[in-house]
Amino acid sequence: METANAEEIQLRHVEKDVLIPKLMRERAKEHCAEKVEAFNHCCKESGFFMVFKCREENAALKECLTIHYKDPAFFEQCKQEYIQEKLEFERTGIPTKNRKQKLPTSM
């Protein structure tokens, strides 16, 4: 069985429209970590009034995330990352989250 390279992979609808956008949201939050933290901090400090008090932080966070969501290069980067993970899963049968767990030091 030949292994396909990332350019030859045909993605299903759910992969293009659900799974890759989910990965994009995760990665965008990492890129916007400072804004996420500022918004979270404001919400914790403001309690019930966060809707009114955290508008500025919320707007900055939305702007940062939207920049990434609308960036075709960022989509392509996330798509390639998704494809590599998919190929690795097909090769090993081990899901990403299980591969990234640390092994116990004593077995």
pLDDT of residue 77: 96
Q: What is the pLDDT of residue 35?
A: 97
pLDDT of 103 above 60: no
Residue 2: pLDDT band with limits 50, 70, 90: very low
The token duo for 65 is: 């995330």
Domain boundaries, the chain: 12-92
User: Any idea of the CA torsion for 15, 82, 19, 32, to the nearest 10 degrees?
Assistant: -150
What pLDDT, in 10s, does the model give residues 8-32?
678 999 999 999 999 999 999 999 9
Please say whether the beta carbons of 20 and 79 come within 8 A: yes
Predicted pLDDT of residue 5: 52
Question: What is d(CA 16, CA 97) in angstroms, rounded to the nearest whole number?
Answer: 20
